[in-house]
A and B are shown apart, each in its own frame.
Chain A
Amino acid sequence: MEVEKFRYDNQIVRLFLFATIGWALTGFIFGLWIALQLPFPGFNISEAFTFGRMRPLHTNAVIFAFVGNGIFLGYYYSAQRLLKTRNYSDLLSRIHFWGWQLIIVAAAITLLMGYTTSKEYAELEWPIDIAIAIVWVVWGVNMIGTIMKRREKHMYVAIWFYISTFITVAVLHIVNSLEIPATLFKSYSIYAGVQDALVQWWYGHNAVAFFLTTPVLGLMYYYLPKAAERPVYSYKLSIIHFWALIFIYIWAGPHHLLYSSTPDWAQALGTVFSIMLIAPSWGGMLNGLLTLRGAWDKVRTDPVLKFFVVAVTAYGMATFEGPMLSIKSVNALSHFTDWTIAHVHVGALGWNGFMLYGIIYWLTPRLYGTQLFSRKLANAHFWLGTLGILFYVIPIYWAGITQGLMWKQFTADGVLQYPNFLETVLQLIPMYVLRVVGGTLYLTGAIIGLYNTYRTMRAGRFIPEVEAEAPPLRAVHAGEDATYWGHRWIESRPVQFIILAFVAIAIGSAIGNIPMFVIQSNIPTIASVKPYTPLEVEGRDIYIREGCVGCHSQMIRPFRSETERYGEYSKAGEYVYDHPFLWGSKRTGPDLLRVGRKYPDAWHFNHMYDPTSMSPGSIMPPYPWLIEDQLDYESLPAKISALRSVGVPYPAGYEEKAIADLKTQAEAIAANLAAGGITTTWDREIIALIAYLQRLGTDIKAE
């Protein structure tokens, strides 16, 4: 039989290996830093390094820098070998690598500078969004090109997961990032309020599904059998769980919006499909664990398998907990608390982190033609990481349940037992300190991992290319019966496979989102709700810039415990001019939807200058620069124009009048502050922020 010789490209694998290890430490260090900021607010050291700006940096660094590079690391090694061909284009591989790193660096810089859309895991502003789309397509073209020139007719399950990742993330990113630019680094989402929330959490949930889950499952299906030296437990199970997973996952986004102002039908869909998700998720988990049948003795000695076992177990735990959190009665307690934070860290530290470290320990010796420098150090990494996960999540679960219960606790007289929100926060400080211990242990393990891989590299010699040989596709399958049908048929037809995978994710996406845009009754309008004034627009942009949404929600759920604490529950019609929506997902501070006119202007001024002056013991960082910095309203006409183009009904030509209106309102606030003994000028940023805060929730507030 004719045999072709070719070479696998290890250089692109090595580049992503370096990036994965490096960005992992960056993401963990930022995570540890923001963990310190909660019990010790002094760690908010400057404008750029406050919790509000650093939290999205941490999440982006871990998701897109650490896990993203790890996915590409694992993909570039495994895809070549599963398809028996070199990557389609070395040039595209390099553009993919360097483009992705540039995006990460740009993300880090812009987020610290306060350029953010505020949409979780989609915070980056529009120029970077475009760059992400381009680089993602570069990867996709390279992947599809590689598949097309393969020498293995049937695509293995790992390749299906890579394909579904590419297609779905492209769709999610493009649809969720549709925005109208006002300036080079400021844009407004084309969606508003409830619609924006639904699109964002369709994206946000499926960023977890199709960035943190499906590609990592693809890696699991390659590296776990390799490490165990056993074939995958059940190929049939992999087929069933793959199609079920990608079909169901896409529907589940609205479970992030239970008890919110989104319509009940959307919430019900989110709950139903989230619970159904247990089956395909556990299909993957069981397939992973059962691949170790007959090889469990190796788990005792092989650190790679140890990492994999804990990773797959964490995946099983997180994918059981997720559906439970989607049950409304559980969500009523868990939502907006640290419970969610603990849940995602089981996934991120356990499933993603440990899968990738297992792969790093398996790959590095092979890339360098040597042996792992130290199994003892790898074991130390494993145990420090495992203990780190436990020390992280147990106190944070405790914190979440504690705070959720305290928010809901009434006295025998029927009033809130803990009416001061701060009291429910201070109760959690010991748990926050314990979390720092957990994070430190995990980071220490990662540093040991860095040293171990470095010494492994030093001990060996990098193998940039590996010679391989395989018969060409036509020679292998020349005499094969072409009449077979069923799944085997689709496994050998990448174009049809891609179309079918797209259909699978498009059904849920369409049914979950389109009704929100075509049926008016989904968002009942409220006549008294008006667009923000120019000064309030500027104030809202400062609120977004400082990442206030990371700690403060603007969504009062219809529970007595919330209406007693905050006021009237939220209505969908209140948010029709909110581009983007700012409902938030975590309350480290209280909800702010009805904060308008609750306190005098002077209270807000003093509170932003030094939160402890108004709330003794507060862990909120101070924002003195808002008092000093001049409000930049030069781009206000462009902002008004951009907002009008996304549907806010500012009258034609209002751009010319907007600055004058801004000044009038700002002078009134400055005069009000002066009457309270505070001297400032109308053109300070704090004035705009006060204007926005004082407006919140007042459109339907009874006088």
Chain B
Amino acid sequence: MFKSLLDFSSYESLGAVATVLFFAIFLAVIVLVFRMKTSHVTRMENLPLQNDDESSTATKEQE
């Protein structure tokens, strides 16, 4: 059965199936993204800046 499913003429429609599949997932992600709360997005955008155990990289030459 699996073979017959795959055995369509020259696999010409594989590209189309794959493209449609991609755009379906792409649209789903777009919908999810635009329904996100701004407060959450802002918080996540700033996440790397929260840990500040690091000091400046400024060199003596800069100072």
Q: Which residues in A have some Cβ–Cβ distance to B below 8 Å?
A: 8, 78, 81-82, 84, 152, 154, 156-158, 221-222, 225-227, 229, 231-232, 234-236, 239-240, 243-244, 247-248, 251, 263-266, 268-269, 272-273, 276, 301-302, 304, 361-362, 365-366, 369, 371-376, 466-468, 484, 486-488, 491, 504, 507-508, 511, 514-515, 518-519
Q: Which residues in B have some Cβ–Cβ distance to A below 8 Å?
A: 2-3, 6-7, 10-12, 14-15, 17-19, 21-22, 25-26, 29-30, 32-37, 40-42, 44-49, 51, 53-62
> A365 to B29, Cβ gap below 8 A?
no
**Roughly how many angstroms separate A266 CA and B37 CA in the complex, as a whole number?**
41
> A372 to B48, Cβ gap below 8 A?
no
> B55 to A265, Cβ gap below 8 A?
no
> B36 to A272, Cβ gap below 8 A?
no
With a CB–CB cut-off of 8 A, which chain B residues contact A156?
Answer: 44, 47-48
With a CB–CB cut-off of 8 A, which chain B residues contact A154?
Answer: 40, 44, 47
With a CB–CB cut-off of 8 A, which chain A residues contact B26?
Answer: 240, 243-244
Tell me how far the C-beta of A513 lies from the nearest C-beta in chain B, rounded to whole angstroms: 12
A-B contact pairs, 28 of them (CB 8 A): A156-B44, A156-B48, A157-B44, A226-B48, A226-B54, A236-B34, A239-B29, A240-B26, A240-B30, A265-B14, A265-B15, A266-B11, A269-B15, A269-B18, A301-B62, A366-B55, A371-B60, A375-B62, A468-B53, A487-B29, A487-B32, A504-B25, A507-B21, A508-B18, A511-B18, A518-B6, A519-B3, A519-B6
> A518 to B3, Cβ gap below 8 A?
yes
> B34 to A302, Cβ gap below 8 A?
no
Known: A240-B33, A369-B55. A264 touches B10 (CB 8 A): yes
> B18 to A272, Cβ gap below 8 A?
yes
> A221 to B33, Cβ gap below 8 A?
no
> A229 to B49, Cβ gap below 8 A?
yes
Nearest-neighbor residue (CB-CB) of A378 within chain B: B59
**Roughly how many angstroms separate A157 CA and B41 CA in the complex, as a whole number?**
11
> A372 to B15, Cβ gap below 8 A?
no
**Roughly how many angstroms separate A497 CA and B17 CA in the complex, as a whole number?**
25
> A268 to B62, Cβ gap below 8 A?
no
With a CB–CB cut-off of 8 A, which chain B residues contact A225?
Answer: 48-49
Q: Which of B6, B21, B54 contacts A366 (CB 8 A)?
A: B54
With a CB–CB cut-off of 8 A, which chain A residues contact B7?
Answer: 519
> A371 to B6, Cβ gap below 8 A?
no
> B48 to A244, Cβ gap below 8 A?
no
A-side interface mostly: helix
> A265 to B60, Cβ gap below 8 A?
no
Nearest-neighbor residue (CB-CB) of A229 within chain B: B49
With a CB–CB cut-off of 8 A, which chain B residues contact A234?
Answer: 45
With a CB–CB cut-off of 8 A, which chain A residues contact B56?
Answer: 371
Q: Which of B2, B30, B45, B55 contacts A231 (CB 8 A)?
A: B45
Q: Which of A81, A243, A514 contacts B29 (CB 8 A)?
A: A243
Nearest-neighbor residue (CB-CB) of A230 within chain B: B49
Q: Which of A265, A375, A491 contacts B10 (CB 8 A)?
A: A265
**Roughly how many angstroms separate A332 CA and B30 CA in the complex, as a whole number?**
36
Known: A232-B45, A236-B41, A239-B33. A81 touches B19 (CB 8 A): no
With a CB–CB cut-off of 8 A, which chain A residues contact B35?
Answer: 486
> A221 to B48, Cβ gap below 8 A?
yes
Known: A240-B30, A269-B18, A371-B60. A468 touches B51 (CB 8 A): yes
Tell me how far the C-beta of A509 lies from the nearest C-beta in chain B, rounded to whole angstroms: 12
> B33 to A372, Cβ gap below 8 A?
no
With a CB–CB cut-off of 8 A, which chain B residues contact A504?
Answer: 25
Q: Which of B36, B47, B61 contacts A374 (CB 8 A)?
A: B61
With a CB–CB cut-off of 8 A, which chain A residues contact B33?
Answer: 236, 239-240, 486-487
**Roughly how many angstroms separate A84 CA and B48 CA in the complex, as a whole number?**
11
Tell me how far the C-beta of A465 lies from the nearest C-beta in chain B, rounded to whole angstroms: 11
Tell me how far the C-beta of A195 lies from the nearest C-beta in chain B, rounded to whole angstroms: 15
> B57 to A365, Cβ gap below 8 A?
yes
With a CB–CB cut-off of 8 A, which chain A residues contact B53?
Answer: 8, 81, 466-468
**Roughly how many angstroms separate A273 CA and B19 CA in the complex, as a whole number?**
8
> B25 to A263, Cβ gap below 8 A?
no
Tell me how far the C-beta of A84 lies from the nearest C-beta in chain B, rounded to whole angstroms: 8
Known: A226-B49, A235-B44, A304-B57. A247 touches B14 (CB 8 A): no
Given contacts A81-B53, A372-B58, 11 further A-B contacts (CB under 8 A): A82-B47, A226-B49, A231-B46, A243-B26, A244-B29, A269-B18, A372-B59, A484-B37, A486-B35, A511-B17, A511-B18
> A373 to B47, Cβ gap below 8 A?
no
Tell me how far the C-beta of B21 lies from the nearest C-beta in chain A, rounded to whole angstroms: 7
**Roughly how many angstroms separate A235 CA and B33 CA in the complex, as a whole number?**
9
Nearest-neighbor residue (CB-CB) of B54 within chain A: A366
Known: A240-B33, A272-B18, A486-B36. A222 touches B48 (CB 8 A): yes
Tell me how far the C-beta of B35 lies from the nearest C-beta in chain A, rounded to whole angstroms: 5
Tell me how far the C-beta of B19 lies from the nearest C-beta in chain A, rounded to whole angstroms: 7
With a CB–CB cut-off of 8 A, which chain B residues contact A8?
Answer: 53
**Roughly how many angstroms separate A365 CA and B51 CA in the complex, as a whole number?**
16
Q: Most chain-A CB neighbours within 10 Å: which of B17, B21, B49, B59?
A: B59
**Roughly how many angstroms separate A334 CA and B32 CA in the complex, as a whole number?**
40
**Roughly how many angstroms separate A229 CA and B51 CA in the complex, as a whole number?**
12
